[in-house]
Chain A
């Protein structure tokens, strides 16, 4: 009996050791530069007992501190003391709308993990304050000198808004659960009428990825809305993913919608590429397959295209966590155009179509990277530039706006959406720094570029 118990315990200990070994992770000599561009290196998926997790502690911006930009540019705080600004949008008259938004916080506690993850997330406040916010603030440069001296509450009492699009005098705001239409009179500084619902979007009862990106077609007949998945990798059941992880095309006249493209886990920053006039998006890929899987990406979006989630990533790389699998969908999964490296969490995208920045940026894409949690070495927490030529990415991404992390790895801010203002400056919503940053060419140091 004793011998048997010894045998049993040895077997069990052996199993324990095996688990511990498979869980061990050398973190990590991996060169993340190999995951930027069209053909990212994809290591084998790894699963852990404790997934690698590192969240930058939030310290905020001290007075006078700003992000860092390359020589030839300068950065200023356009508006401070905002409440969790996540998105920016420029109106035709030059007024800038700042969408201040907080998470609807609906994820039910369906398993013990939810409790742990909520606690972890509470450490970084990426969901926003529990009160206030959920409004749009208007900023106006009344003297045309680059100082936005007028600030008003433009639309209040929204529900976790993110995307904004103006067509004529119809202003559309994507709440997390519906696209609302407001009448916008040019020059208005506030709208008090309640909006009307153009079309409901998938919101509760779970609403895991809640930001709904929005863009109008160039002819103004259609709206496109990014609708993120309701889970990391279908752990809430495939039924919770109905009409999610996709981009909706909405008829502006009727509100009717269809799925324009699918398999995009969390698409944000929907934008029109200026040369090809194709729709582009940045996408947050899945977590918990290792510090270097799966690279988030920037891609053009094809009508009817399927981009893999949840069944596969980067074409036909199967995700071992998804059952039942769908070989029919995997077979047609499109490889995205441009990898941005793993866990950088891109939430903002804008093409440089203005003249307010150094000429080298013209036509390329700025990407706001909110920053990682699912790897030990922080990645993202910056705005990068992806050069474009002939409507396609052309060359290595480079850092443009950095310094969101201080020297000890604490977060002073986290960039979210990016936009251009009327003079062509780059605007960056910083949701934990509660600031909108404005990056312009610096005429005094222009020679550096």
Chain B
């Protein structure tokens, strides 16, 4: 895997994979901690939506336990990524001047805020930990995650849009 690296052409591409993270636009020169931690909220919040749906369909409580852990781990990864992203932004102030950074930053903050609320709602017992509010928040979280990725990627030049796939075709 060639993404977590600190300079060079590879990272110009790595930027796209990771710009769905807490603070996109800064990631191209980001620290590996940011690159790794930022992938957790994306994978976990999407996973939690899947396990929420599985619970709603089956009413089997094991799916809520899965959702709870996914949301908690996603939150931890998100907070670590946010801290790393902030550090990155502060250290490279010229990124702040790029207006295109801000929608994605806002998106990332929203993801964390809604993710936190969703953790609280999911800490209830039984059916109402998911239906209806928990599932709604899971859907909104995933939408904001996708939006944030799209905003970050969408502001790049077309040739950068290919998202590198570990071990896949470059």
A49-B117, A111-B65, A236-B61 are known contacts. Are A5 and B128 too (CB-CB below 8 A)?
no
Which chain B residues lie closer than 8 Å to A319 at the CB level?
126
Smallest Cβ-Cβ distance to A115: which chain B residue:
B72
The tally of CB-CB contacts under 8 A between chains A and B is 89
Q: Is B114 interfacial (CB-CB < 8 Å)? A: yes
Identify which of A8-16, A85-93, A153-161 touches chain B: A8-16
Q: Residue B110 contacts which of A12, A22, A116, A235 (CB distance < 8 angstroms)?
A: A12
Which chain B residues lie closer than 8 Å to A49 at the CB level?
117, 120-121
Minimum CB–CB distance from A192 to chain B (whole Å) comes to 44
Which chain B residues lie closer than 8 Å to A22 at the CB level?
133
In the bound complex, what is the Cα–Cα distance between A410 and B120 (angstroms)?
28
Which chain B residues lie closer than 8 Å to A145 at the CB level?
none
Determine if A324 and B126 form an interchain contact, defined as CB atoms under 8 angstroms apart.
Answer: no
Smallest Cβ-Cβ distance to B154: which chain A residue:
A1
Which chain A residues lie closer than 8 Å to B44 at the CB level?
none
Minimum CB–CB distance from B113 to chain A (whole Å) comes to 6
Determine if B59 and A324 form an interchain contact, defined as CB atoms under 8 angstroms apart.
Answer: yes
Which chain A residues lie closer than 8 Å to B33 at the CB level?
none
Q: Is A328 interfacial (CB-CB < 8 Å)? A: no
A-side interface residues, number (CB < 8 Å)? 36
**Interface size range of chain B in the complex:** 35 or more
A19-B133, A323-B127 are known contacts. Are A111 and B69 too (CB-CB below 8 A)?
yes
Which chain B residues lie closer than 8 Å to A231 at the CB level?
125
Indicate the member of B61, B65, B106 with the most A CB atoms within 10 Å: B61
Which chain B residues lie closer than 8 Å to A322 at the CB level?
126-127
Minimum CB–CB distance from A109 to chain B (whole Å) comes to 10
Minimum CB–CB distance from A54 to chain B (whole Å) comes to 18
Q: Is B107 interfacial (CB-CB < 8 Å)? A: yes
B 56-94 to A, binary, CB cutoff 8 A, 1 in contact else 0: 000111101100110010000000000000000000000
In the bound complex, what is the Cα–Cα distance between A4 and B150 (angstroms)?
12
Determine if A321 and B128 form an interchain contact, defined as CB atoms under 8 angstroms apart.
Answer: yes
Q: Is B54 interfacial (CB-CB < 8 Å)? A: no
A1-B103, A8-B143, A12-B144 are known contacts. Are A50 and B65 too (CB-CB below 8 A)?
no
Determine if A113 and B123 form an interchain contact, defined as CB atoms under 8 angstroms apart.
Answer: yes
Q: Is B124 interfacial (CB-CB < 8 Å)? A: yes
Which chain B residues lie closer than 8 Å to A236 at the CB level?
61
A 10-47 to B, binary, CB cutoff 8 A, 1 in contact else 0: 01110110010010000000000000000000000001
Which chain B residues lie closer than 8 Å to A232 at the CB level?
125
Q: Residue B137 contacts which of A15, A237, A323 (CB distance < 8 angstroms)?
A: A15
In the bound complex, what is the Cα–Cα distance between A185 and B147 (angstroms)?
77
Which chain B residues lie closer than 8 Å to A8 at the CB level?
143-144, 147
In the bound complex, what is the Cα–Cα distance between A19 and B133 (angstroms)?
8
Which chain B residues lie closer than 8 Å to A122 at the CB level?
none
State the main secondary structure of chain A at its contact with B. Answer: loop
Smallest Cβ-Cβ distance to B155: which chain A residue:
A1
Q: Is B136 interfacial (CB-CB < 8 Å)? A: yes
Smallest Cβ-Cβ distance to B68: which chain A residue:
A111
Q: Is B151 interfacial (CB-CB < 8 Å)? A: yes
Q: Is A443 interfacial (CB-CB < 8 Å)? A: no
In the bound complex, what is the Cα–Cα distance between A11 and B68 (angstroms)?
24
Smallest Cβ-Cβ distance to B109: which chain A residue:
A9
* CB proximity to B under 8 Å, residues A130-158: none
Q: Is B101 interfacial (CB-CB < 8 Å)? A: no
State the main secondary structure of chain B at its contact with A. Answer: helix
Which chain A residues lie closer than 8 Å to B72 at the CB level?
112
Minimum CB–CB distance from A271 to chain B (whole Å) comes to 30
In the bound complex, what is the Cα–Cα distance between A152 and B154 (angstroms)?
79
Q: Is B36 interfacial (CB-CB < 8 Å)? A: no
In the bound complex, what is the Cα–Cα distance between A322 and B120 (angstroms)?
19
Determine if B147 and A5 form an interchain contact, defined as CB atoms under 8 angstroms apart.
Answer: yes
Determine if A113 and B107 form an interchain contact, defined as CB atoms under 8 angstroms apart.
Answer: no
In the bound complex, what is the Cα–Cα distance between A231 and B133 (angstroms)?
22
Smallest Cβ-Cβ distance to A240: which chain B residue:
B61
Determine if B151 and A1 form an interchain contact, defined as CB atoms under 8 angstroms apart.
Answer: yes
Determine if A113 and B68 form an interchain contact, defined as CB atoms under 8 angstroms apart.
Answer: yes
In the bound complex, what is the Cα–Cα distance between A325 and B99 (angstroms)?
52
A8-B147, A233-B125 are known contacts. Are A110 and B106 too (CB-CB below 8 A)?
no
Q: Is B50 interfacial (CB-CB < 8 Å)? A: no
Which chain B residues lie closer than 8 Å to A5 at the CB level?
103, 106-107, 147, 151
Q: Is A234 interfacial (CB-CB < 8 Å)? A: yes
Which chain B residues lie closer than 8 Å to A64 at the CB level?
none
Which chain B residues lie closer than 8 Å to A219 at the CB level?
none
In the bound complex, what is the Cα–Cα distance between A413 and B39 (angstroms)?
49
Which chain A residues lie closer than 8 Å to B61 at the CB level?
234-237
Smallest Cβ-Cβ distance to A234: which chain B residue:
B126
30 A-B pairs (CB sep. < 8 Å): A1-B103, A1-B154, A2-B103, A5-B147, A8-B143, A9-B107, A15-B114, A19-B133, A22-B133, A47-B128, A49-B117, A49-B120, A110-B65, A112-B68, A112-B69, A112-B72, A113-B123, A116-B123, A233-B125, A234-B125, A234-B126, A235-B125, A235-B126, A236-B61, A237-B62, A288-B124, A320-B128, A321-B125, A321-B128, A322-B127
Considering the complex of A and B, which 6 residue pairs feature the smallest CB-CB distances, nearest first? A321-B126, A235-B125, A49-B120, A111-B68, A323-B127, A112-B72
Beyond contacts A322-B127, A324-B59: 20 other A-B pairs, Cβ-Cβ < 8 A, are A1-B154, A4-B147, A8-B144, A9-B107, A9-B110, A15-B137, A16-B113, A22-B133, A47-B128, A111-B65, A111-B69, A112-B69, A234-B61, A237-B62, A288-B124, A320-B128, A321-B124, A321-B127, A321-B128, A321-B129
